[in-house]
Amino acid sequence: DVKILQIGENKFREGCKLKHLLKPLAGPHYHGQAAAEANELLLSILEQEEYDSVLANVKIIGLLNKNVGLVNVSPLPEEKLKDKIIEELKKVKTLEKVEFLDKPIKLIIKANKGQFDNRHSRYWLEKGRLQPDFSVPIEVEWLLTTNKSLSTFQVIDYQINE
C-alpha cells in the first residue's frame, strides 16, 4: 500500500477540479470546462440530495477530440440517484459520454517514454495517483505514446471488467 498525504483536501472540498482531467489541457474551453462543470454539477447534486459521500468526482478521459466522464461516487448510491446524476451530466455540452462506475475497470493509458520505461513511476501513478480517486478497483494497460509533446500521461480509453 502506498500512503499518499492529502494536502488541502477533505470530503467537503475536493480540491483542484483540474486534477480530474486525465488528459492534456489542450483546449481549456473544452477539456477544462468539462472537468470543472461536471465536478461542480456532481457535487451540487449530491449536496441537494443530502447524500453523504466519502468520494465524489468525474474523471475526464479520452482522446483530445472526445471527453468521456467517468463518475466516481463512494459509497455507491441507489439506482434512482445514479440515474439522476447520469441524466444531469449528459446535459454538459463538453461531455460526449458519461459512465457511472460501479464495476472494476481497466484504464488504457499512453505515457511518455520516461514514465513508460520506469516501472516504479507506473506503479506510483496507478496505485498512488489514480486508484485513490476511483470508487472501483482499477487495472492499467500502459502504452508508449508516439506524441513527443506528451510530457506525462493521458488516459485515452477504458473497459468495464465484468
The 10s digit of each residue's pLDDT in 63-96 is 999 999 999 999 999 999 999 999 999 999 999 9
3-34: per-residue pLDDT in tens? 554 444 444 444 567 788 898 888 888 999 99
Please report where in the chains the cell 445514479 appears, as a residue: 82
In this prediction, residue 1 carries a pLDDT of 66
17-100 is classed CATH 1.20.1250.20: no
Q: Give the pTM.
A: 0.89
Q: CA 12 to CA 142: how far, in whole Å?
A: 33
List beta partners, residue 61. Answer: 68
Could you tell me the residue ranges of all domains in the chain?
17-100, 105-160
Mean pLDDT of the chain: 90
Q: 145 with 109: CB under 8 angstroms?
A: no
pLDDT of 145 above 50: yes
Q: 103 with 136: CB under 8 angstroms?
A: yes
Q: 88 with 45: CB under 8 angstroms?
A: yes
**C-alpha closest to that of 153 among 142, 137, 139, 138:** 142
Q: Strands 105-111 and 153-160: what pairing?
A: antiparallel
43-53: per-residue pLDDT in tens? 999 999 999 99
CA 94 from chain center: how many Å? 15
Residue 56 Ramachandran class (φ > 0 left, ψ -120 to 50 alpha, else beta)? beta
Polymer length of the chain: 162
Order of all β-strands in the sheet with 153-160: 138-144, 105-111, 153-160
98-133: per-residue pLDDT in tens? 999 999 999 999 999 999 999 999 999 999 999 999
Sequence-distant (6+) residues with CB within 8 A of 55 are: 11, 72, 73, 74, 133, 135
Whether a cis peptide bond, with omega within 30° of 0, leads into 75 is yes
In this prediction, residue 6 carries a pLDDT of 47
